[in-house]
Amino acid sequence: MRFRIRPLDSVFFDLFTEAAQHLVIGSSLLAEMLSDSSDPEDVAARMRAAEHDADETAHSLIRRVNTTFVTPFDREDIYALASALDDVMDSMDEVVDLVLLYKVAELPADLSLQVEVLQRCADLTVAAMPRLRTMKSLDDFWIEINRLENVGDRNHRRSLAALFTGSIPTLEVLKLKDIVESLEEAVDGFERVANIVEQIALKES
């Protein structure tokens, strides 16, 4: 085990937790957007505000790295994790934006399965971030996220197959395919977060 001086303040861990909390909010708004009773313009406005808040947290992390002499782990890992968390939020924001811009009147019911995967990933991620302080009990996090990403892959394939049965007008297929792909990107984004956490934990052990 290598010796490393660690800062005593909790700012980095608090900011990573804050970044993950934005993802919980984002996944909740995404679920609301895909519900039958949603007001798309209202949900999209709240998602834009949430995405802006997530950007601010990411910028705070970067500023903290650039002004701190001793960081809790390698700077490039902090940059990578901050960026990966922000990318997930961007993907979820893209889904909401596409639903609004494309004026999709009816969304396939099976998309809710993918949103459930995203919500579960968000909950696991926000619970894992405080554990970066000790680097303990994190293996269950990336193992479960990787399992959920596999579930997400299966959902993605089923959703795509359902679009190409010939029962949906071509223009709607094109719109829905973009939404399905953005949902998949969000799930993949959570796996990237988990992989970075695993790399950090292994490097710091």
Is residue 161 situated within a structural domain? yes
Give residue-wise pLDDT tens across range 2-15: 445 555 558 999 99
Instruction: Give Dmax over CA atoms of the chain in angstroms.
Output: 62
* Domain of residue 71, CATH code: 1.20.58.220
pTM: 0.93
Per-residue confidence (pLDDT) for residue 1, from 0 to 100: 45
Residues 6+ apart with CB under 8 A from 26: 47, 50, 51, 54, 88, 89, 92, 93, 122
Is residue 95 situated within a structural domain? yes
Is residue 69 situated within a structural domain? yes
- Total tally of structural domains belonging to the chain: 1
Is residue 74 situated within a structural domain? yes
Give residue-wise pLDDT tens across range 118-133: 999 999 999 999 999 9
Q: Which band of pLDDT confidence, cut at 50, 70 and 90, is reported for residue 86?
A: very high
24 in Cβ contact with 115 (< 8 Å):
no
Is residue 32 situated within a structural domain? yes
Is residue 22 situated within a structural domain? yes
3-state secondary structure of 136: coil
Is residue 6 situated within a structural domain? no
Give residue-wise pLDDT tens across range 146-170: 999 999 999 999 999 999 998 889 9
Q: Tokens standing for 31?
A: 């679920």
Structural domain boundaries, residue 143: 11-204
Is residue 4 situated within a structural domain? no
